[in-house]
Chain A
Amino acid sequence: MNISSALDQYKSMGNHQLIFGYRGSLSNDLVSALIQMADSKLKELETPFRKKKAIINILIEGLQNSLFHSIEGQKTVGNGHNCLFLLGKREGEYFIRIGNFIESSKKEVLSAKIDKLNSMDAEQIQQTYLDVLDQGALSDKGGAGLGFLRIIRDSGNKIAYSFEPADDNQQMFYSMEILVSD
């Protein structure tokens, strides 16, 4: 790599108000390390504790969701649970973007689930969170869907998402963006 392209990249990351990002294979230990790094970066930026905690909670749920539900071992982009993760701040709000490859067949179910949660107000989200938590405690599997509920509850915003065609029809690149107002 020559020095001028490195400088361009450095500037470009600054222009996008990026705090930090990651592209590559994910593991649970790496989720933990990314959370630690986000925590210290947000402290440096003097983010109020409450906002910092909301962002950390969203990262935990978003990154583990990516780890548990993405397609493993993409031939085109390397091995493992490949993901894109960006944390930044623009115009007084933090943004978190998380993307990964999923099977195309999951698109309908996933978008219906998020649309349904996005249509709820804060009170409904809290009540649904408690209902799912309570029902999940009855089974061994825990509360399915609690992660998305927590993301919406803690961000105070809806989840923006997209599905983009990947190299073959069997898979898509699913990404979500969550905003946390400063």
Chain B
Amino acid sequence: MENIEIQPTATTPRISFRPLEGYFEISGKSLPENSYDFFQPLLEYVEAYAEKPVDATKLVFKLQYFNTSSTSHFLRMIKKFEKIHAAGKNVEVHWFYDEEDEDMKEAGEDFKVLLKLPILIKGIKMD
């Protein structure tokens, strides 16, 4: 599988998917006009990865803000990684938030309630 690198725009996040390293990162702002069109190809990509994942997979979120339709797609995506985890592979979700941003911390905690895989929530300094 080839890497996916998508540069951020004012309304879509930066995407960096590097399957050979088992590294998947979504960062920035996510408020696409049509979140299905933006995320569906990425979900299909992760589905293909899930058929032959590497031993350790890391899914990283570093978001500033997002709309609720993006959240649904984040959850759909994490569920695909949850299946890899359920199949016995090492999978971790790293949910980073700006250390001031309690709201983003709570968004990570919402996912923790809904999912059964390790989600590490950590405040960091963001620009």
In the bound assembly, the distance between CA atoms of A137 and B11 in angstroms comes to 21
In the bound assembly, the distance between CA atoms of A32 and B65 in angstroms comes to 11
Chain A residues whose CB sits within 8 angstroms of the CB of B72 once the complex forms: 133, 136-137, 142-143, 146
Report if B110 contacts A (CB, 8 A).
yes
- Chain B facing A: main interface SS: helix
Given contacts A53-B65, A61-B67, A130-B110, list 14 more A-B pairs with CB under 8 A: A29-B11, A32-B10, A35-B31, A36-B10, A60-B31, A60-B65, A60-B67, A130-B113, A140-B40, A142-B72, A143-B71, A143-B72, A146-B68, A146-B71
How many interface residues does A have (CB within 8 Å)?
32
Chain A residues whose CB sits within 8 angstroms of the CB of B33 once the complex forms: 28, 64, 67
With both beta carbons as reference points, the residue of chain B lying nearest to A137 in the complex is identified as B75
Least Cβ–Cβ distance between A177 and chain B, in angstroms: 20
Report if B73 contacts A (CB, 8 A).
yes
- Chain A facing B: main interface SS: helix
Residues 145-182 of A contacting B (Cβ, < 8 Å)? 146-147, 149-150, 154
Choose from A54, A134, A136 the contact partner of B103 (Cβ within 8 Å): A54
Chain A residues whose CB sits within 8 angstroms of the CB of B65 once the complex forms: 35, 53, 56-57, 60
Report if A31 contacts B (CB, 8 A).
yes
In the bound assembly, the distance between CA atoms of A141 and B71 in angstroms comes to 12
Q: Can you identify 19 A-B contacts, CB atoms within 8 angstroms?
A: A32-B29, A32-B31, A33-B10, A50-B102, A53-B101, A54-B103, A57-B65, A60-B31, A60-B65, A61-B67, A64-B33, A133-B68, A133-B75, A137-B76, A142-B36, A142-B69, A142-B72, A143-B69, A143-B72
